[in-house]
Amino acid sequence: MRKLVAFSLLVVLAVAACTPTSSGTPSPSGAAKLTTLRLPEAAKIVNTMDPGISSGGAGLEQIQNTFEGLAYVDQVSGEIKSGQAEKWTISPDGLTYTFNLRSGLKWSDGQALKASDFEYAWKRATDPATKSRYAQTLWPVKGAEAFGTGKGTADGMAVKATDDKTLVVTLERPAPFFMHLAATWTAYPIRKDTIDKNGDKWTLTKDTYISNGHYRLVEWKPEQSMTVEKNPNYWGENNGPDTIVWTLYDDVATKSVIAYEAGEIDRAVLVGADITRAKADATLSKEIKKFERQGSQWIILDTTNAPLNNVKVRQALSLATDAKRLNEVVLKDAYFNSVSIVAPGIPGQKKENALGFDVAKAKQLLSEAGYPDGKGWPANVKFTFASGAAETKAIAEAVQGIWKSNLGIDIVLEPMEDKAFDNWRTTRKDQPFNMYVSGWGSDYEDPNNWYNLLFDSKADFFYAHWKNTEFDNLVGQGLKENDVAKRKTTYESADKIINTEAPYITVYHWARFDLIKPYIQGLNHYRVLGRIQGYLVKVNK
């Protein structure tokens, strides 16, 4: 009897609990609910919110949400769209750009935005005293490189506000990619009065961090969080969340997943073992999203140091590297499989140019180079890497094994402390080495950002010490070519040369893994730089 009473009580309770309380509190359907997007960000690197100083990295997402340049790169389509400039004209010789600003542009504090704010910002970022980490962005402007390296003056830099709404820029030489540079954060406008008054501290508070983008700063607590709200003075529409809060973490990949699972943030950064764990988890597996990032990770070879100075040896190593297995098995599919040296999407890149994976051919080439089945291979060929990066270590170990079994050669692993490795790499400029791992992601989707900036023997960004006169001539022509189709084929010929000469062996192409809560829509990472644009996101909560 007692059991029965207890049971019926339970049933009554259960039913009561399940009945919707329609007569209860009325839902505030009339008033628009304020929405907040909660994102993670790396704390340490948010060391500047100053667009003129930032070199990208963490902090860029905050800068891009609070500022807007003359033009911007659409974070879905990748097209250049007009931002603060309503339109622009380019002179027939490709040297002079005239930008016409929209009318009625305002700063976040309500003051009028003028063309002179751009002129000031560009000259300030180029001035060596500003200590910009990205000053070279504006160097194609006439007189900028001289000013930036202390050989010229601000007045000698050819950027001029001819009136409040017109900005005229003259370039040193034609640069078909210049609109990409004009859309970069270094070229965002800056308010002179706040810099004059607050110096380096202008980015710290709501009242001094005056911006012109979709959002404006509410609060920045160093190492803790950053909050922005809709900027009522922005010229266009903003249908994104009312506020965006970034929580800052030292180890953003590890901590954001924990905070995400505890429901504190709406997006988490997923790397390494967490990818495998999330894929196996019933809930998390539905919230994983993999984004393409236009970048390549390579094993960089010193092409002047024996035995890798022999092109056949380099080709053999490249052909024997099972990059598909490296990504899919060793790195748990955290990236995209290797296609070619330059990342897909860059005009000039052609997957047919890549050497591919062919062990038989690799063995034959190695034999022709004088090391049949690895016999006579020198004993001290070193693979140098930063020991702090677990993934690079995994790559080095895997490659060691792959080459041993495919070619019968031995390489020596040489781990170094992270900063010691960075320093070692810096000194490779004029010192010999064998190989190390590094990579590059596009700053803008243009061949200049790869072929000229990295591989031209005058640049030799990764110190492969690789020099090919024909390649240098081709990329030099491509740099100045204004005809799009002609430019593409010129770079394609260069692409063929570098893939054949194999100073780099591609390990994978970059990717981003995110966990995103199901109530978030429109959160996108565009493949170039890929920061989240708040105004594109919907928070349905």
Partner 1 sequence: MTTYVLRRLLWVLPSLFVVFTLTFILVHATPGSPWDESDKPLPAAVKENLARQYHLDDPLPKQYIDYLANVLRGDFGPSYRSVERSVSEIIAATLPVSAQLGLASMLFAIVVGVPLGALAAVKHNTWIDYVSSLITVTGIATPPFVRVSLLIVFFSLVLGWLPTGGWEGIFDSRAIIPILAIGLGPAAILARYTRSSLLEVHGQDFIRTARAKGLTETAVVIRHAMKNALIPVVTVAGVTLANVITASFFVERIYSVPGIGRQFVDSVSGRDYPLLLGIVLVFALLISLVNLLVDLSYGFLDPRIRYR
Q: Could you list the residues that contact partner 1 (CB under 8 A)?
A: 43-44, 47-50, 53, 55-57, 128-129, 131-136, 148-150, 200-204, 221-225, 247-251, 255, 258-259, 261-262, 264, 386, 389, 417-426, 429, 438, 440-441, 461
**Shortest Å, Cβ 200 to partner 1:** 5
Alpha helices in 338-451 (DSSP H): 359-368, 390-407, 418-426
Would you say 55 or 473 has its CB closer to partner 1? Answer: 55
* C-beta closer to partner 1: residue 9 or 420: 420
What would the DSSP string read from start to end of 95-113? -EEEEEEPTT-B-TTSPBP
Q: How far is the CB of 300 from partner 1 (least distance, A)?
A: 12
How far apart are alpha carbons 374 and 402 in whole angstroms?
Answer: 13
The residue among 88 and 455 lying less far from partner 1, judged by its C-beta, is 455
Of the pair 238, 254, the CB lying nearest partner 1 is at: 254
Q: What is the 3-state secondary structure (H, E, C) of 54-93?
A: CCCCCCHHHHHHHCCCCEEECCCCCCEEECCEEEEEECCC
- Residue 473 to residue 476: CA distance in whole angstroms: 5
Report, in Å, the least distance between residue 321 CB and partner 1: 22
- The residue (of 122 and 234) whose beta carbon lies closer to partner 1 is 122
Strand partners, 187: none
Least distance from C-beta 174 to partner 1, angstroms?
A: 22
346-383 b/e with 16+ CB inside 10 Å = b?
bbbbbeebbbebebeebbebbbebebeebeebeeebeb
Residue 96 beta carbon to partner 1: minimum distance, rounded to whole angstroms: 26
**Residues near 489 by beta carbon (within 8 Å), at least 6 away in sequence:** none
Nearer to partner 1, 82 or 136 (CB): 136
**Could you tell me the smallest distance in angstroms from the CB atom of residue 181 to partner 1?**
14
Cβ 262 to partner 1, closest distance in Å? 5
Could you tell me the smallest distance in angstroms from the CB atom of residue 47 to partner 1?
Answer: 5
Q: At what angle do helices 359-368 and 390-407 cross, to 10 degrees?
A: 70
Q: Which H/E stretch holds residue 115?
A: helix 115-126
In sequence order, the 6+-apart residues with CB closer than 8 A to the CB of 13 are none
**For partner 1, the closer CB: 207 or 422:** 422
Question: Exposed, middle or buried: residue 400 (CB in 10 Å: 0-12, 13-18, 19+)?
Answer: middle
Token pair 């710290």 is found at: 204
Q: Which two tokens stand for residue 502?
A: 């194999």
Smaller CB separation from partner 1, 49 or 474: 49
**Distance, C-alpha 184 to centroid of its chain:** 12
